[in-house]
Amino acid sequence: MYPIEARLTTPLKIDVAKIATYFPEFRYRGPAISYSGKPITSEFILNDGNLDKMEVLSFDNKTDEGFTSISSNYSPKELAVLLLRLPLELSSPLVNSLREIGMEISLSENEQQEIMAVYQREKKLNSVHRLLKGAVPVDFKLTETITVLQHEYAITTATSEQPILGTYGANTCLILALYDATNKMAILAHIDTMTPIESLSELLQPVSENSIAHLAGGDSNSHSMCIELIELLTKYHIHIENADVLKSSFAGASLAIDARTGTIYSPVRPDQLYKTADINQRQRRVQMQFIKSPLVQCNDKPLIYQDFEGASKNKDRLKESDSVFYDEGPIITSGSEWDWDADQYRTTFVQHPSHDNNSITTDLIDKAHDEVTTKQPKRWSFKEYNAHSFLRDLDKNRAEDKEQKLESQVEEQLSLLLGERCSLISLLSNLHIIKISAAQSEQTVKQYAAILSAVGLVVAANGGKLKLEGTLTKVLEKLDKVTFANHHHENFIMG
């Protein structure tokens, strides 16, 4: 339902294109040809920065005498402020047409000031609103990253072992990425509706003037929050390079920034960012957020304002107690069995990107292992928990790397045999656990039979069906000429 939607008794003859030139923040859309080849005579002045109020003015049902209907997402008072910017020869015909249908376009002085203030804020948003530019595809290593979740922020520097910050899934939330070239520092914040925008001032204080900001995410419900954030950045003289905001997306916006170069990356998938062992607790904290509060610094790594000028400004608030794992720490129940090699873990620990060598000692690693092998619930301190997390993450990453390596080797060999890209997963799914559907051609079945025979598996092809018996270990042995006797895949019989 439009605030203004009327059929005009007297056709309105007006130059819409000329009116649009007085509103450079809006977009003019003129007559067009429909898919059926018929002319569309409607003309529009549109506000792309506000989905709730996109139609500033729409003129329809044009005849030789002029337009016979008019509509707008704006109220009469809001339109009155806009029309003040037009010369009388353009505004008078429109005002008179609306008066004929009983709609008065007039304002008191106070109303003009109030609506003009709103207009100025809208103008500021429209002046920076643009599609994301300069973003490049992800080409960084997982171990170089820090994951920022909803209602969190992170800070990193060019000299950090994790110089890249990333976040994802910003629907109604806004992503703020800052690059301070002077201090070689990056900040990333995932701002939700529970974040008081003014609380971000503390985060911006140590940032050099003329730093660069990138905004992404949000939908029509984030309109006011977006304007407030832009006003705050303007106050601190931070240049807004990108403001790809207020557009709905099923997956939500995602963004990563590199403190070494200021490069931004998008889109970013969750599996491209490093996850610490406490990620589930961090996500649950967001679910329990019922009142507005400042953003929480994510604890992927306890590096804050310590490697650049102006560090003293925020030292007081950077206490270890800010962490949700300090003091008593979380209750951890460990029941997994690890292939323990203390010397190996000690040597690889110093190269692990997610922990500070000063915060965890090898003694704590040994203690973490002892606690795990006893399989007893233990309440750990923050440092002890980090030692536990380090061990668990290291084993998990090794297992994942091995699995990915094996699958990529199989994929490469199968590609050569098939003459096209084909993953192990897609091969098995196409075979329907080795039972080809009747819809598959006999030629396709023969192709699969040739592949499986080539790797030494017993196979029989009969029309549109395929039958084989073997193990995935045998497939890998044949393809890679490496013995995978301890590979965890079980035997499978298919037919």
Confidence tier at 232 by pLDDT (50, 70, 90): very high
Average pLDDT over residues 125-129: 79
Confidence tier at 122 by pLDDT (50, 70, 90): confident
Number of compact structural domains in the chain? 4
Give pLDDT tens digits for 180-228.
999 999 999 999 999 999 999 988 988 988 899 999 998 878 888 999 9
Same domain assignment for residues 315 and 365 = no
- CA–CA dist 244, 134 (Å, integer): 12
Same domain assignment for residues 300 and 204 = yes
Within a domain: residue 136?
Answer: no
Of the candidates 207, 215, 257, the one whose C-alpha atom is nearest the C-alpha of residue 236 is 207
Same domain assignment for residues 118 and 17 = yes
Who contacts 80 (Cβ-Cβ below 8 Å, separation ≥6)? 105, 106, 107, 112, 115
pLDDT at 302: 35
Average pLDDT over residues 150-165: 95
Same domain assignment for residues 70 and 97 = yes
Confidence tier at 441 by pLDDT (50, 70, 90): low
Within a domain: residue 405?
Answer: no
- More confident position, 179 or 368: 179
Same domain assignment for residues 239 and 278 = yes
CATH number of the domain within which 196 lies: 3.30.1330.200
Same domain assignment for residues 104 and 33 = yes
E strand or H helix at 61, and its extent?
strand 55-63
Same domain assignment for residues 359 and 223 = no
Average pLDDT over residues 308-332: 33
Of the candidates 256, 201, 254, 188, the one whose C-alpha atom is nearest the C-alpha of residue 228 is 201
Give pLDDT tens digits for 69-97.
999 998 887 888 888 888 888 888 888 88
**Which residue, of 350, 376, 395, is where some domain finishes?**
395
pLDDT cut 70: percent of the chain above it: 57
pLDDT at 123: 74
Same domain assignment for residues 45 and 189 = no
- CA–CA dist 364, 348 (Å, integer): 15
Cα angle 327, 155, 185; round to 5: 150
Within a domain: residue 134?
Answer: no
Within a domain: residue 403?
Answer: no
pLDDT at 371: 52
Within a domain: residue 51?
Answer: yes
- CA–CA dist 373, 307 (Å, integer): 38
- More confident position, 88 or 409: 88
- More confident position, 404 or 312: 404
Residue type at position 265 = Y
Within a domain: residue 177?
Answer: yes
Confidence tier at 301 by pLDDT (50, 70, 90): very low
pLDDT at 169 over 70: yes
pLDDT at 391: 59
pLDDT at 22 over 80: yes
Evaluate whether 296 touches 151 at the Cβ level (below 8 Å).
yes
Within a domain: residue 415?
Answer: no
pLDDT at 269: 94
Domain that holds residue 345: 331-395
pLDDT at 228: 93
Of the candidates 161, 202, 163, the one whose C-alpha atom is nearest the C-alpha of residue 186 is 163
Same domain assignment for residues 353 and 237 = no
Within a domain: residue 407?
Answer: no
pLDDT at 489: 33
Confidence tier at 41 by pLDDT (50, 70, 90): confident
Same domain assignment for residues 248 and 389 = no
264: DSSP letter: E
State the DSSP string of 119-133.
HHHHHHHHHH-B---
pLDDT at 281: 83
Task: Report the DSSP beta bridge partners of residue 23.
Answer: none
**Which residue, of 291, 322, 353, is where some domain finishes?**
322
Same domain assignment for residues 306 and 453 = no
**Which residue, of 295, 322, 349, is where some domain finishes?**
322
Give pLDDT tens digits for 242-255.
999 987 666 689 99
pLDDT at 36 over 80: no
Average pLDDT over residues 314-341: 32
Q: What is the pTM of this model?
A: 0.48
Cα angle 179, 185, 187; round to 5: 60
Same domain assignment for residues 196 and 307 = yes
